Every structure is written in C-alpha cells, then in structure tokens.
Structure 1
C-alpha cells in the first residue's frame, strides 16, 4: 500500500501498530539504540573502572567553560541524536514522523500544552512551598544576564533533548519492541527499564546511590503508561519537556547532571528516601488520575497488557 496514503490515514492502527506503516526489519531497529545505549554503557564502564569523580570532573568543565556553555554543549549532543533518529525513521524505515508521534490524524498540540502547564505549575508551586517552609533548602542564585542566556538556551534546546528521549523510548523502541514481541506489556517494561539505565552514569546515582534508579525507571513506566493509554506521544512529550525545562530554570544543585544558572541552588543534603519514592508512589498516580479523567481513558487492561496485532 502506498505510504502517502497511510500518512493521510494514521489512525488505521493503534499507536504501537503505527510502526507497521514503515518498512520493518530487525536490523533497522538495532543500530540507533545500540549506538546510544552503547555510549552510555561505555561512559559508565570508564567511570567505574578508572574510578572517576564525575562531580569533580563536571565542576572542572564548568569552571573552564561556564555553566551556560557546558549546559548548551550537553543539549546539542541530544539534538544531533534526534536529527539522526528522525532521519533514520523517515528515510530508512520509510515511516512518517506523524505515525511515530501519534495515532491521531494530526499531532494534538493541546495535549502537549495542557500537560506541560500542569507539570510546570506543579514544579513551581512545590518549589516555592519548600522554599518558604524550609528556607535553608534553597539558596537564591538569580543573576539577570546569565539567567536570560540560560532561558534562551533552555527554551531552544531542552524540548529537543526531551523529545529525543521520548521519540527513542516511547516512540521508536515502544513500537519496535511491541511489534517484535506482539506484547504491549513487554514493550512497556523493556522501554521503561532501558530509560532508567540511560541515567546510570548520572552524578545523581553516585551521590544518592542506585536506589534513585527506582525514580528513573518509575518515570519510564509513567511516561510509557500515558503513551499507551492515550495512543500517542503528546502527553509524554509535554510532561518531559516541562519537567526538564522548568527544573533547569528554577533550581539546580552541584551534584546533578544539569547544573545551570538557575534561580535557586539546592544546598540540602540529598537523601534516598522521600525524594526518590514520592514521585513514583504519589505524584505519578495523581497525574495518571487527572489525565485519565480529562481524556476519558478506558480499556486499561487491553491497552497495557493486550496483544499487538
């Protein structure tokens, strides 16, 4: 069937099955995930074998380049990967970017902006509450010019970084693993665990311990669930962009992967308790409830545990 016709009728398939619109082949799905996850694994091995102090190394780079330049260079790395991924999907798989994004006839920007606003509001309000209730937690770091430069960089590059991660894990791999195994649950588990593993070399892991992987993998499951239930990437794209964008502008710490000229610096001693488990056990379920009511999700069993046709 002509691919142009399929582009015009994307809702012929449910979201995972959208991958069938392109030219299938296991070899086509392997190169990009293997290269990307291989680089992550190599970085982790080098750090572990050579016993490198990641935080100290980052601090040295920041002192040399400045926070804004260091941040921009890290974001540009992801922009290159996003361009390669979308090129690969479009010209190797012969699949439309629309079908990689959603099962709807067009991308629903209203969904993206709604969940972006919801998550951004939550981060801002919760941060301000913590600041006023526990003033020793945050130190004001606001400097107008560096913050203005950061804002421009972040608005331009952070959505690209988060979109790459969503298109890779909740899009490309979710569709590929689902079609290969014919199982939505397997696709959800594999992509969520890989999403968590992607963060294993982050300095947060060194600082807090491997317990923080519960948060990373839990975030992967949350984003995977809303993608499957909503039959598209829009909610995951909006949520992830808000989480990273607002966080880098609002608050940073000297032990995190994203150190920026933000408004606040978190000077508290990080712990592996409430901060790790609260999002997974409390915040994500609340968001699931809100989104499920707004978008009237039904048939949870089939959408999360069903067979991919």
Structure 2
C-alpha cells in the first residue's frame, strides 16, 4: 500500500532529518518569521509585496518551488535509495488519467460555483481581463504551479506521510499530523491576517481532504490533480485584495470582503463540497474499507527466506 512504499528505501533517521529540513525548510522559516514579526512589520511586508507587479510577484514566489521539488526527488533517490514512483503511488505506474479526472472535476466545480455566484449577485465582481497580462499569467501558471503543488503534495502527502507512517505504525496519525502542519504552514497568507486564525480551519480541512484522497486511493494522483486545478482557478479566474496571491485574473472582487462571509463560504466548502468530491471519487474508483485505510495499522513487509 501507499505508506508502506517507504520500506523500499533506506530510512536511517539522519537521512530523514536531512531531507525534511532541506525541503520543508522554506515553510519552517516562513512560519517562524511570521510569528516573530510585529503587526507593523507584517503590514509593511504585505505593502511592499503589493507594490510589485502581479506577474513578477507570482514569478518570484513560485520559482523556488522548481529547485525544491527537484531537490526532494534527488534526496529520495540518492539518500533514501528509492524511486519517485514509490513516492507517488503504490501501483506499478502513475495513472495520469486519475490526475486529469481530479483536475477537471475541481475546475468544473469551481467554474460552476462562480457562475452561480455571478448570476445571484455580480455587483462587486468586475471584469479584470487584460490580454497581455493574462497571457503572461497563464504561461507562468502552467509552468510553475505544477512545481508548487508538486512540492507540497510530494512533501506532505508523500514523503512525510510515508515516513511518519512507518514510524508510528498506523495511518490516522500521519493523516492528522500532515493535515494540521499543512494548514499551519499557510498561516502567513494575507487572508489569515485579514480574517483571523479561523481561516486555518479551511486550510487544515483541505489538508484532510487531500490526505484522505491519498490514503483511500493509495496514491498521490488525485491529490495532485485537485491541488493543481484549485490553485490554477485561484490564480486565473478571480482575484481580490485579500487573496493569498494577487494576480491579473479574468475577474476581480471589488467589494469589501467581510471576514464572516468568507469564513461561511469556507465552511460550506468543507462541510458540503468536500464530501461531495470524496463521494464522486469513491464511486468512480470503488473505494472500500474506509476505516482500515484511514486508521489501520502499518506493518513492515516480511523478509522472504530461502531454504
């Protein structure tokens, strides 16, 4: 199964420590810096970031993920002596159709929900389309978002979930731990500053969704497709002043977003939309044994002996 793939490699503690620090270090530094800064310093940082042209800012923010993802693959291959395939899936090969289906599902749901929202009330939604800027945004997004979401999925739902799982010998703890840490590492996002720490429920809930997908499907493919589709829509479809990333998207929300309203939207996503997504996946891929796959024990493979 997926977590047991870690047994295919060398899991000496110092190898795990080096890989974790080198690849998760950027998240750790960002997390620590955020809590060490005063409110005035954080406001100054956000102000400086807002003054950088949107596409340049996106390019600067996403570029490091290329090196970090390659570094993670290299460390898994060289230090842990196992393949990237074992970090991706428990199957014999990567199922790209799963990635595509998950990607198209979240893109379709996002567009449908946007259209419904627009038809109900579009008084604060303005057309923001600039052909040149949007073309550049589209190119940057297609090139760099796969690296950004790739690092997050391979690090949290892949490497860390597998390594923690074979240490604690169960599935529920790595699911819980990686989901919470995934959420906490988003605490420096601008919307957290605007709405308070209640928004962390959404990030942690999203971590749980992606973790459940991974454990139930025994692979990262669905999580990769979902995460990529979600981030692309966040960048390309509509932007606002409190978004995690400011982009030259097709539309912009020009109103004053009330924290209560935004939190309610996020709660609706977690309580209604996410279960629907899991239900669709469960029906399509015939998921069974939920309790075992999400909370069951992890056992090391038995060594084969010959007479």
Superposition TM-score, scaled by structure 2 size: 0.92
How far the C-alpha of 1:280 sits from its partner, in A, is: 1.0
Q: How far off its partner does 1:25 sit?
A: 1.6
- Assess, with a 3 A threshold, how the Cα gap between structure 1 residues 60 and 44 changes in structure 2: closer, same or farther: closer
Match of 2:246 among 254, 259, 267: 259
1:52 to 38, 41, 45: 41
Partner Cα distance (2:107, 2:147) in 1: 17
Name whichever of 285-294 and 246-255 sits farther off.
Answer: 246-255
Deviations 1:255-278 (A, max 9, x none): 122110001112231424312211
SS in 1 for 2:63: helix
Q: Alpha carbon RMSD of aligned pairs, Å?
A: 1.4
Give the distance between the partners of 2:279 and 2:98, measured in 1 at CA.
15
Q: Is the 1:131–1:137 Cα contact (8 Å) retained in structure 2?
A: no
CA shift digits 1:170-194 (9 cap, x unpaired): 0000000000100100010010001
Aligned residue runs from structure 1 range 21-170, under 5 A: 21-34=8-21, 35-47=25-37, 49=38, 51-54=40-43, 57-63=45-51, 65-170=52-157
Within the candidate set 221, 229, 237, 2:208 is matched to: 221
Match of 2:163 among 176, 198, 215: 176
Aligned match of 2:291: 301
Contact 1:252 1:264 in 2 (8 A): yes
1:232-256 per-position Cα deviation (integer Å, ceiling 9, x unaligned):
0000000000000122000111112
Give me the whole-angstrom Cα distance separating, in 2, the residues matched to 1:281 and 1:66. 36
Matched, 1:18 2:5: yes
- Displacement after TM superposition at 1:75 (Å): 0.6
Write the distance in 2 (CA, Å) between the matches of 1:50 and 1:220: 27
1:278 and 2:268 matched: yes
Shift of 1:50: 5.9
Is the Cα–Cα contact under 8 Å of residues 28 and 185 in structure 2 kept in the other structure? Answer: no
Give deviations 1:106-127, integer Å, cap 9, x for gaps.
0000000001001001111111
User: Matched residues in 1 for 2:99 and 2:208: separation?
Assistant: 18
Paired residues in the alignment total: 293
Q: TM-score with structure 1 length normalisation?
A: 0.91
Q: CA deviation at 1:46?
A: 3.4
Displacement of 1:160 after TM fit? 1.0
Of residues 211, 225, 231, the one that matches 1:244 is: 231
Mean Cα deviation higher: 140-149 or 25-34? 25-34
Rounded to whole Å, the distance in 2 between the matches of 1:36 and 1:59 is 21
Identify the residue that residue 305 of structure 2 maps to in structure 1.
Answer: none
| CA distance in structure 1 between the aligned counterparts of 2:258 and 2:283, rounded to whole angstroms | 34
Distance 2:214 2:90 in 1: 11
Ranges in structure 1 where 5+ consecutive residues have no aligned partner: 1-13
Q: Deviations over 1:213-233 (max 9, x none)?
A: 100000000100010000000
SS in 2 for 1:51: helix
Q: Could you say what secondary structure the match of 1:265 adopts? A: strand
Q: In structure 2, the residue corresponding to 1:38 is in which secondary structure?
A: helix
